[in-house]
Chain A
Amino acid sequence: MADNLPTEFDVVIIGTGLPESILAAACSRSGHRVLHVDSRSYYGGNWASFSFSGLLSWLKEYQQNGDTEEETAAAWQDLIHETEEAIALCKKDETIQHTEVFCYASQNSGDSVHEIGALQKNASSVASSTFTEPLPSAELPEERHSYVTNNEMPAKHASESDSKISVEEGDVEESPEKEKYCGDKTCIHPGSDGDKVENKPIVDDDNNQLKRNVITYHQMVQESRRFNIDLVSKLLYSQGSLIDLLIKSNVSHYAEFKNVTRILAFREGKVEQVPCSRADVFNSKELTMVEKRVLMKFLTFCLDYEQHPGEYQDFQQCLFSEFLKTKKLTPNLQHFILHSIAMTSESSCTTLDGLKATKNFLQCLGRFGNTPFLFPLYGQGEIPQCFCRMCAVFGGIYCLRHTIQCLVVDKESRRCKAVIDRFGQRINADYFIVEDSYLNKETCSDVQYKQISRAVLITDQSILKADSDQQISILIVPPVEPGASSVRVIELCSSTMTCMKDTYLVHLTCESSKTAREDLESVVKKLFTPLTETEVDKEELRKPSLLWALYFNMRDSSGVSRSSYCGLPCNVYVCSGPDSGLGSEHAVKLAETMFQEIFPSEEFCPPPPNPEDIIFDGDDKQADAPGTHTTTVANLESPEESKKLESPLQS
């Protein structure tokens, strides 16, 4: 099939991470012919999300990474003309290191676990033997699409999560309601619910004293698909550039979001909720009246701090933490503002930066809810796929598992002319966008990378129990020693569609100083206890139990400047992998600047024409004849319509 790939494109994009996907959408939207390839079998690169078993196979891949055979260079070297030279691309992904897995959940029914895991893996690999299959989501209806139609849907949940698109395609069966869909799935894989009931007695036998419904490893593997585990843990600032881009480009229609429900702080060994909005402050039981006033006063000041230079001028060069001390704020309020609202470092952030960060946080409040953040349902990995989908809608062509062997550079003009894929096919284009991890060692010899330390935990309860167990929380744990990096903890509940019922998915992120486990284990220990050590008596006071934990380091190429790469032709652009920041502002900015460099005169991701608008025009013309009734109906609908457009993300 790959032989049939067209050979002429305007832009070839290698890698399906967020900045590459945004660029793909932007280029395709502007009418350029885009080929978007990834050597991996899934979308998103290091921005991807995995099911539980998907993550296990991803880990396996990295553990076996060493023994990928060196392919013969000869295969493609022959295809290089005399006037050309080749820049080989890297086949080994070296961005992930120090992976360590700990399983605390009972693995008793180990045999069957293996079987099911293997089964699923087989299923996925069978299904994705065509290159078109996105992610190991084998049984989804999109299977029957082939990339030749140019209309395939990369977003793996596209059909359920976006009824609009399905309606456009006129295929109602394709958009079953989520619950229904899940229900179907339970039927296909007997055992999720029924099995759980059967399992319980077994668990009870093993740990006689436990009354709680303890999740076993077996169950996690069986319910693997309930998990959507992100490799990068980010949120969307509700006034941030990614949200703006999603809305502007209509890509938001392909995704659904949930508001983060709580901002938490970790102080004096305890997790507490941070009141940040007016309603939060009003409702807070923890703050005294005076604290409420002082906090509100300070936050109100931060909202337009530029108007009151007298308040902070003398402190401009001081640390933000010092400035806070002069504001009559009690220590807990100082902690809340410094770590949970401004999310800045105690020992390095200046007053001005702190005020700016606080203002940014406050401005994001209230747009979609009571906290400034949104989280995409089914995980952060949805976002790059949504952009890919937009690219495909406008004619972009997608190939996963499609390795590009080398870039072909014209010796004379020093421009890249083409790429050669793993079948030896030569694909010509004007511009080439390559994700950093594909570049070979020589190209990157001068590059200094940072590292991100990550932990992914599956736990049995929330770090702060509340009335509702469906909370999405973000917690910043400040470093013990000043100067070290603080740890960002994001806890997701099952209604975010990222973990199975009765579990929580917890992501920890910080800038690395050592390996991920060394960086993060102390925080994990503060917040959680391994399941095996759980004390049974103090049900009320106990910390959440760890069921499963993964640590890994991810390379952070976000700070690398273009000039540090040696020998790259000017029409080859490099996208960095994920950065350690909370928002995706870096990726959006990168994509936008790059797009403007390549196509300086074109608009970046303009809103696509609304198909309904076109139909409406036609309707209006006809409506004149039959009378006023239809216009009345149109009028009645219009307020709703506009509301949808204004806030398409409201969940």
Chain B
Amino acid sequence: MRQAGELDESVLELTSQILGANPDFATLWNCRREVLQQLEAQKSPEELAALVKAELVFLESCLRVNPKSYGTWHHRCWLLGRLPEPNWARELELCARFLEVDERNFHCWDYRRFVAAQAAVPPAEELAFTDSLITRNFSNYSSWHYRSCLLPQLHPQPDSSPQGRLPEDVLLKELELVQNAFFTDPNDQSAWFYHRWLLGRADPQDALRCLHVSRDEACVTISFSRPLLVGSGTETLLLVADQSPLIVEWRTPDGRNRPSHVWCSQLCDLPAASLSDQLPQHTFRVIWTAGDAQKECVLLKGRREAWCRDSATDEQLFRCELSVEKSTVLQSELKSCKELQELEPENKWCLLTIILLMRALDPLLYEKETLQYFQTLKAVDPMRAAYLDDLRSKFLLENSVLKMEYAEVRVLHLAHKDLTVLCHLEQLLLVTHLDLSHNRLRTLPPALAALRCLQVLQASDNSIESLDGVANLPQLQELSLCNNRLQQPAALQSLASCPRLALLDLQGNPLCQEGGILDHLAKLLPSVRSILT
């Protein structure tokens, strides 16, 4: 019938019988839409009004059969969107009724948001509605989520402050509400998720973090706060050397030119004068037009490199998990969570929140305590042990970076830390010595390529199987990989791309058992002066 174009009331009648019994039949809803569109052109306004009214009644009856039918709710959206004067008040009432039956019906929540947006219901009214539903049953993701959309609308903040933040008085009220929920039932996840949203999880603002110039490699490297794609037609980076703009080609360290934290540019086609050691100094400036930011550094006579960067310590880079500005708020949250933890020593949500709060407050001060909480958390939530290990590794790495920067050195010690994963490698652009030995790493990830200044890498006593990341490291001279799980000489292939690698220690790896391995390696890595097996 559909193909024959016979789209009249009889189709409505037929489909209504099927949809009345089973509303999850998308094709038939499509059919109805076609019919209704057709009839719209043919019928008088009165007839059409009657038709629409019947359709609304029919939809309601379908929703009663299955209140969670995607098709039905969608059809209702479509229908109301086409009406010249839709009765939104009635639709809101319908939502309220369905939510009374099942306050967690997210289909209906979606529809309500649609209706509220169409009817321009003031956010305050909708907030009051979520209040009433949370009062009845606070285990309601949808309701909490709706609040997180409504509150920023109700309390718009000046542009300068991070997005989605709330004024302190509102925030404190919401925190109290959500605390009521998790003290009443600490195993209810919805409240914890809302709590985490309240404490903020703003992404760090886009920024140009670091600019590094190396005389030897004739190379300029920059790092962004998040992976970006640089190139024509996307983000544009202008390089100005000694006041004159240079046309350069930006590449990622791995050469794949995908969105990346780190981008480098060879300066080989510059006028030789720009890097000559004769002049007292050279000034390099990178201008990031889209991000409205720039960085400048001066390469002095006699120096091999120069850089300019934002310190992780100044920017509180690692606290963005919970980015509430007021530490008093965080302190009081920490206090109540600790109270709760005393009552519920085995509650994983509470433990995790404590850890996050401590990180946000002062990662170094709470380091020891945090590690203890991690241990407890792993014991009560063994299902997420691997996730927790990774999170712990991340926090430890962050702390080590902070310590390194406070000490103003370029050496990072991460030995004996039980690390399972490496992250924030883009922060380590300037590191020259990295000690990763005695951890639980299984791989040296590609992001390691960001370490443009790395000279010595110690990664002995891990479980490393692959070395993808140890590639294109211009400064790398020494690499120790004792007691790992390297099986095949082929795994070392990438090392060939490190021009200065001179010392490689492979003792205690399975591949050392192979006969003729030294010859094989010598062929594979001809430039490496000394290979220990």
Contacts and interface: CB of A to CB of B under 8 A. Distances in A.
A632 B17 contact: yes
A289 interface: yes
A333 to B, nearest CB: 13
Nearest to A370: B136
A629 B17 contact: yes
A98 interface: no
A636 B184 CA distance: 39
Interface in B178-230: 179-181, 183-186
A292 interface: yes
A635 B336 contact: no
A289 B135 contact: no
B135 A279 contact: yes
Interface residues of B, number: 22
Contact of B137 (A279, A292, A294, A639): A279
B179 A289 contact: yes
A632 B184 contact: no
B184 A282 contact: yes
A296 interface: yes
A261 to B, nearest CB: 14
Contacts of A282: 135, 138, 180-181, 184-185
A388 to B, nearest CB: 36
B64 A289 contact: no
A289 B17 CA distance: 54
Given A289-B336, A289-B340, A293-B344, A278 B184 contact: yes
B369 interface: no
A292 B17 contact: no
A627 to B, nearest CB: 9
B61 interface: yes
A640 B67 CA distance: 13
Contact of A289 (B61, B138, B183, B185): B183
Interface residues of A, number: 19
Interface string B124-149: 00000000000111100000000000
A289 B136 contact: no
B62 to A, nearest CB: 9
Contact of B185 (A278, A632, A639, A640): A278
B343 interface: yes
A167 B29 CA distance: 39
A203 interface: no
Given A279-B135, A636-B64, A636-B65, A289 B180 contact: yes
B339 interface: yes
A290 B184 contact: no
A63 interface: no
Contacts of A289: 179-180, 183, 336, 339-340
B184 A635 contact: no
B21 interface: yes
B20 interface: yes
Given A279-B137, A279-B138, A290 B343 contact: yes
A293 B344 CA distance: 9
A35 B184 CA distance: 55
A293 B64 contact: no
The 7 A-B residue pairs whose C-beta atoms are closest, nearest first, are A289-B183, A292-B183, A282-B184, A293-B183, A281-B184, A293-B343, A632-B20
Given A279-B135, A293-B340, 18 more contacts: A278-B137, A278-B185, A281-B184, A282-B138, A282-B180, A282-B185, A289-B179, A289-B340, A290-B339, A292-B180, A296-B183, A297-B343, A297-B344, A635-B21, A636-B20, A636-B64, A639-B64, A640-B64
Interface of B: 17, 20-21, 61, 64-65, 135-138, 179-181, 183-186, 336, 339-340, 343-344
17 contacts: A278-B184, A279-B137, A279-B138, A282-B180, A282-B184, A283-B180, A290-B339, A290-B340, A290-B343, A292-B180, A293-B340, A294-B343, A296-B183, A628-B17, A629-B17, A635-B21, A640-B64
